[in-house]
Amino acid sequence: MDQLVDASVQEAASKIDSVPDIEWWDEIYLKGSTYNGVDRPDLVENSPTDPIRRELATIYVQHPVPCRLPVDGEIQPKELYLTKEEQKKIRRLKRAEAQRDEQEKIRLGLMEAPQAKAKMSNFMRILGNDAIQAPTSIEDLVRNQVQSRLDKHLNANEGNGNVVSYYY
């Protein structure tokens, strides 16, 4: 049986040091050079016969300094690619969350509610009595709002580098 053991295993086993009488992290806390008497229940703490230096013990934990692993090259995490469906779902959830946040701010009074987008097809419902009393001036106001929204949209497209070949 001993003949089957690899020589490198025997060599590695011979290099292992014997178990120390006291671990290095316990040396400063023990008065002696062994663990003898540490687990005796009849000893009174902080007495002259107590084998532990309790004045050195604190409530704080000493953590070792983190060190880098000895790796030949840096290990880069692989990128996580999402499917089209997952991308759409994440985008939809982000937009819904932003919409909920905006509605909550409006409810709390932190933000003013946006004006209704008046169009020629709905200005009678939106503006109500004002539209009945002065329909021509309200119609001009609505046309100006529609045109300003269109101009803002076209300016944003030009600013983003999107070329628009036609105007409405």
Mean pLDDT (whole number) for 105-120? 90
Backbone CA torsion sign across 39, 44, 50, 53: positive
Are the beta carbons of 50 and 57 closer than 8 angstroms? no
Mean pLDDT (whole number) for 86-100? 97
Q: Give a yes or no: residue 10 inside a domain.
A: no
Whether residues 87 and 107 share a domain: the answer is: yes
Domain limits for position 131: 116-159
Q: Give a yes or no: residue 29 inside a domain.
A: yes
Q: What pTM, to 2 d.p., does this model score?
A: 0.39
What mean pLDDT value characterizes the chain? Answer: 80
Indicate the pLDDT class of residue 96, thresholds 50, 70 and 90: very high
pLDDT digits over 42-53, tens only? 777 767 777 778
First to last CA, the chain: 93
Cα–Cα distance for residue pair 20/22, rounded to 1 Å: 5
Backbone CA torsion sign across 124, 130, 132, 134: negative
